[in-house]
Amino acid sequence: DYELCEEWGHLYPVPREDLINLHREHLLHLLEMGDMEKALQLLQRIEDPGVCLAISEQSLDQHPNLAASHFLADYLTAHFYASLTTARRNEIQALYIGSKVLLTLPEVSRVNYFHLSSRPLLMLEQLLMNMKVDWVAVAVQTLHQLLAGQEIGITVEDIDSLLSKYAEKALNFPFTLKEKRS
């Protein structure tokens, strides 16, 4: 049905907003089905870059599943980096990095942290608070690789500071140990 509507749009004038809505719904459908290749082909078929940007951004704002969010954030960064405002660019890159970190977690646990996908530092803090030290190690390694040479409002120093803060709390004993006397 989407393809038929797309052909119809080539034959008859369709209002821009309706065209954006059609392509957005088609893109979200393809992403929900896990067909990233067809989703990419759909985006490449759209001739007007403004329409393509609007479709991609609106689709991302619909908060699709993890794989779809990761795909859209990557696509927007790769193709529309210069067209985005600095705040929006940082938001999309944070979502990309957060989704990449989420993909390092065990699949059954991802749903518990999905709501933090656009806030990777907060996700890391949540993992620390939940005592998921092994997961934190993998997440930190992934973050260090992704942050190399990028400016998204998160730095390696922020990560190190967070880790130091929680390491200090782990060693803080709220009571004094008494000596046992025999």
Q: What is the pLDDT of residues 104-123, one digit of tens each?
A: 889 888 889 888 888 888 89
Percent over 90 (pLDDT), the chain: 18
Same structural domain, 77 and 90: no
Residue 105's SS3 state is coil
**Segments forming the whole domain that contains residue 37:** 1-83
Same structural domain, 64 and 45: yes
Same structural domain, 6 and 71: yes
Residue 65's SS3 state is coil
The number of CA neighbours under 13 Å toward the Cβ of 120 is 32
Same structural domain, 64 and 89: no
CA distances from 7 to 19, 46, 83 (A): 11, 12, 28
With both helix axes pointing from N to C terminus, report the angle between 120-129 and 133-147 in degrees, rounded to the nearest 10: 160
pTM: 0.75
What is the DSSP-derived secondary structure letter of residue 180? Answer: P
Question: Cα(87)–Cα(164) distance, rounded to whole angstroms?
Answer: 28
Number of domains in the chain: 2
129 domain residue, yes or no? yes
Q: Over range 124-147, report the average pLDDT.
A: 86
Q: Over range 65-87, report the average pLDDT.
A: 89
Q: Can you read off the two tokens belonging to residue 103?
A: 């993909």
Looking up tokens 């989420």, which residue turns up? 102
- Give the chain's mean pLDDT: 85
8 A C-beta contact, residue 105 and residue 116: no
Q: Over range 78-85, report the average pLDDT.
A: 88
Last-in-domain residue among 47, 62, 83: 83
Q: What is the pLDDT of residues 140-158, one digit of tens each?
A: 888 888 877 666 677 788 8
Question: Cα(160)–Cα(5) distance, rounded to whole angstroms?
Answer: 51
Same structural domain, 70 and 2: yes
Same structural domain, 24 and 63: yes
Q: Over range 20-47, report the average pLDDT.
A: 90
